[in-house]
């Protein structure tokens, strides 16, 4: 196949490019690099099956030649990014999705949207299944990301119903791994950066907030299975191992051998930031035969090793 990955220089997008190339496909990656990085795809320079296009997909997308699949992963994804780029986040969710769908329709390509667990907002049910409509504040600071993804899902389903397009939607829960930005504001790079520097890990409040952390390779495998499937309905992809932030901090310190310990500070919460999040992944298990394979401790060891290397090379 020849596939197009928007956001192809981002954390997840670049891993997807690697997987498609490893499987023998040709890849076109599009990115405007506001949150992605050329460093994530530098190892692909000279690969004749890989092409990078510097472009903002909120503008019309033109790609010559056949395209068999379009995977739309372009978007700021961390709170620090979408609060810095609120308009761009809304535009890539709305205009970017529209343009990527238009390209897929013109090429007769299958389309896959990277959606998010944020469509559930601050959930009132636990765990969250795909039929839960969510608890989202459209005018709160997080609404620029939550509503962009909710609109994107609605647009994908409208193209599926109106134009009979072959579409897929993956709802991604907390994912971590190499190529995350140290400064992206999320808990994994924050903790690992502090641990590698030998600092105390900053835990807000009592640390009883919970998350389920999924290693990026498991997400990529699930995405590949979903793309090959006939499943049109949204699919949650994430791990169901729920840990609180204090436990997670202690795990990072143990694996990194960080003597810095933990520093508790007053809770700093963006309005709408969920206290708990856990996917119901029974649809993925049943329809895709997928379950996460990488244990948290193993994935963290790989991620810590990556960040040690990156930080050692940074002046």
pLDDT for 185 equals 87
Confidence of residue 270 (pLDDT cuts 50, 70, 90): low
Which tops the pLDDT comparison, 185 or 132?
Answer: 132
Q: Judge contact between 292 and 231, C-beta under 8 A.
A: no
End-to-end Cα spacing for the chain: 41
For the chain, percent of residues with pLDDT exceeding 90: 91
Between residues 275 and 313, which one has the greater pLDDT? 313
Check whether 26 has a pLDDT greater than 70.
yes
Average pLDDT over residues 78-96: 96
What confidence tier does 284 reach under pLDDT thresholds 50, 70, 90?
Answer: very high
CA distance 219 to 77: 15
Which phi and psi (to 5°) does residue 261 adopt? 75, -150
pLDDT of residue 271: 56
Mean pLDDT of the 63-75 span = 98
Please give the C-alpha separations between residue 134 and each of 48, 146, 291, in angstroms, as whole numbers: 44, 10, 24
Lowest mean pLDDT among 38-42, 205-209, 297-301: 205-209
Query: What CA–CA distance (Å, rounded) separates 96 from 207?
Result: 36
pLDDT at position 315 is: 73
Domains in the chain and their CATH numbers?
2-175+214-237 (3.40.50.720), 177-211+241-278+294-313 (3.90.25.10)
State the pLDDT at residue 304.
Answer: 97
pLDDT for the residue numbered 188: 95
The residues assigned a catalytic role are 145
């Amino acid at each position: 196949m020849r596939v197009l990955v928007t956001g192809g220089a981002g954390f997840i997008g670049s891993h997807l490019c690697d997987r498609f190339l490893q499987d023998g496909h040709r890849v076109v990656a599009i990115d405007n690099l506001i949150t992605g990085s050329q460093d994530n795809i530098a190892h692909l320079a000279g690969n004749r099956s890989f092409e990078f296009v510097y472009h903002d997909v909120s503008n019309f997308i033109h790609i010559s030649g056949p395209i068999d699949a379009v995977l739309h992963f372009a978007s700021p994804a961390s709170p620090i990014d979408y609060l810095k780029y609120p308009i761009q986040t809304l535009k890539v969710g709305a205009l970017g999705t529209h343009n990527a769908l238009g390209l897929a329709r013109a090429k007769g390509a299958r389309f896959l949207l990277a959606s998010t667990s944020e469509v559930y907002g601050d959930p009132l049910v636990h765990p969250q299944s795909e039929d839960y409509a969510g608890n989202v504040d459209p005018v709160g600071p997080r609404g620029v990301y939550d509503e962009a993804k909710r609109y994107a899902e609605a647009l994908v389903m409208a193209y599926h119903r109106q134009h009979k397009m072959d579409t897929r939607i993956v709802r991604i829960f907390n994912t971590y791994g190499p190529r995350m930005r140290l400064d992206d504001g999320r808990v994994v790079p924050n903790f690992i950066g502090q641990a590698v520097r030998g600092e105390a890990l900053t835990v807000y409040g009592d640390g009883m907030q919970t998350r389920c952390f999924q290693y990026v390779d498991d997400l990529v495998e699930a995405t590949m299975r979903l793309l090959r499937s006939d499943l049109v309905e949204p699919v949650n992809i994430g791990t169901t191992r729920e840990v609180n932030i204090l436990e997670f901090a202690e795990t990072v310190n143990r694996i990194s051998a960080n003597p810095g310990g933990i520093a508790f500070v007053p809770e700093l919460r963006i309005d709408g930031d969920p206290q708990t999040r856990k996917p119901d992944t029974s649809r993925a298990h049943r329809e895709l035969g997928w379950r996460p394979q990488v244990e948290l401790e193993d994935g963290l060891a790989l991620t810590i090793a990556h960040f040690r290397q990156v930080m050692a090379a940074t002046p």
